[in-house]
Structure 1
Amino acid sequence: MSGAEVGPGAGPSLRDLRSFLAVVDEGTFTDAAIALGTTQASVSRHVGSLERELGVRLLLRGGRVVRLTGAGRRVLRHARTVEEEVRALHRAARGDGAEVRVGYAWAALGEHTPVVQRRWSRRHPRSQLTFVNSATRLAGLNEGLADASVVRRDPDVPQLASALLGHERRMAALPTGHPLARRRRLRMADFTGRTVAIDTITGTTSTDLWTPQHAPGDLRTVRGTDEWLTVVAAGQAIGLTSRATSVQYSRRGVVFRPVTDAPQVAVRLIWWRDDPPWYVDELCAMIREEYAASG
C-alpha cells in the first residue's frame, strides 16, 4: 500500500478492529464474516478502512489463509487490548462484576438464601450477591442500600416495579410452654381471642386474615423481627409469619407450627421502575427456580 493510498482520518472504528481480529482468528475473510454474522464484503471493507487509517498493510491476502504482515503483528496486540477494554467498559456499565446488593426487611429468601448466593457466584465468578437487612417499608431501596429488595408486603408505591418470586406457607410462632405448642399443626381459628404480635411496617399479618368470629382478642404492635420474637418468647403474644422466618431465625423459647388453612405469603422483588438493575431478570428467574423446586 503506497503513501498516496493512505492518510489519517477520524480514527479506527470498533467495527474495523473487530473485523481485523476476526480475520486473524478465523484465518479467512469468509470465516470471519460467518463468525461476525455479516458479509465477506463488509469484513473486507472494514479491514481496508483500518489499513487506510493506519497507513500500513496489515494482512497478506494471497493464498488459502490470510497472514499478518510485520505491521499487522505489531498492531494485533494493541487491537486485542482495545477490544478487551471495550468489553470491560460494557461490564462496568452493566455493573457486571460489581457487588449485587439485594435488600430485605426480614428473612431474606429463607432456606433459598444461601442456595441462590452460591448459584450466583458460580454463574458470575467476579460478582458477589449480598443480602442487606433494612427493616423499612422499602427494605433498603429508599436509603440507597440496595438496587432491588425482597418484600412480602406490597409497598404500594407507583414508582416501583415488582416481580413475583414465589409463595411461602404461613407458620404460627408460639412460646415453648404455650398450650398450642403441643400441637403439630394449627388452624386460623386457634388464634381466636388471643393476643397476636404484629409488625405494622414490614409484617404480613393483619386482622383481614381472620373472619370476624375467629378474630384475635388483642394486637401487640412491634417493630422488626427481633422485637417480634422477643415478645413471643416472653409469652406476651403469639405470632403468624411466613415459613422463611422459621428457617432464618432461631430463638430460644419460640417454636413454629404450620397453619394449614392460612393463605400463603407472596414473595416479591421490587426496584425503581425508571432504573432497573442490570441483573434483575436473571436473578428473578434464578429465585423462581428455587421456589418452584421446593414446591
Structure 2
Amino acid sequence: MTTSTRLELDVDGRTRTLDVVTGPDTGPRTASRPLVLVLHGSRQSGATHRAFTGAGYDRLATEHGAVVAYLDGYRGNWNDARRESTFPARRENVDDVGFVRGVVAHLAATRDVDPGRVHAVGYSNGGQMVLRLLHEAPDLLAGAAVVAATMPTPESFLAPTPARAPHPVPILLVHGTKDPVVPYAGGRFPAFTRRVFHVDGTALSAPETARYLARRNGITAEPTHRMRTARDRGTWIEQTDFRQDDLPPVRLLTVHGGGHTVPGPGRQPFVVGRTARTLATADAVAEHLGLAADRERRRTSR
C-alpha cells in the first residue's frame, strides 16, 4: 500500500506541481530515505506517466523504502537543453533544473530524504532532462536512469559537456530497437517526431550514448554483453555493461523488438511499439542504482 500526496512549489515565479508517493514504512526513522525523481515524457504529466507505467516505480517505495516523486513538466514538457526544440518549456526557458533542486530541498526538509541519495529516472523527454541534469547539475544526483532517450550530438545540446564528469554516478539506459519516436540508431529525429512533439536535431545511437556516458565516468574498458531475458512475445533484452574498478558503471539494456516504451507492467499504446514484459524497469533501476543494496543494509541493521 502506498500513500500519494499532491504538492505545489513556487519556482522562479511559477507554481510547479508533483505527486509524492511513500510506502507503508516511510515514517520518521534514524536513517534518511533515498529519493527517486520520475520525469515523464512529452505530453504527459507525472500522474499519466504513473498510469502509463502501471505504477511500476511505486515498488521503489514499497519494496526499497524510497520516496518516489512524480514531477510535472511545464505544459507537458521539460526544458531539456535540446537546441532545436520548440515546445513552450524550451521557448520560455523554464527553469527545470531549479525545479528539480527545489523538489530535493523541500523533500529533504519535510520527508526524511537524504540529499546525497537522489536518483532521477526519465522517459523520452524526461530522459533528455535527466541527461541535462547529469551535465548541468552533476552534484545533485547519486544515480540516473534514462529510458527511450539518447544523447544529443554536441551541436544539438545546450548544456556544458566537459570531457570528464566532475561527479560520476551509475547510469542505466533502456531503449528499444524498434522505437519509432527516438530511433535506437540515432541520427535526426523522424518527421513524425518533429511534427507531433516539436523537437528536432540529431542524436547519438543508444550504444554510442552508453559509450559516451561511460567515457565521461572515466571508463576506458570495453563493454561486456549478455542476454538478460529470453524472447517473449516478440522482445528480448540484451545487457551491455561498461565497468572498471572504482568507477561508477554504465549499463545499457537493449530491448530487441521493443518500441518507445517502458518495460514492465504498464499498458502502453501499441502505436509506440511493443512493451517488454520479462523485465520490470523499476527492478533494473533498483539493482543498478543501488536501491536493492540499500534495502539489504537496512534489513541487516535492524
Instruction: Check whether TM > 0.5.
Output: no
The TM-score with structure 1 as length reference comes to 0.29
The TM-score with structure 2 as length reference comes to 0.28
Between Structure 1 and Structure 2, the one with more helix by share is 1
Q: Which has the larger radius of gyration?
A: 1
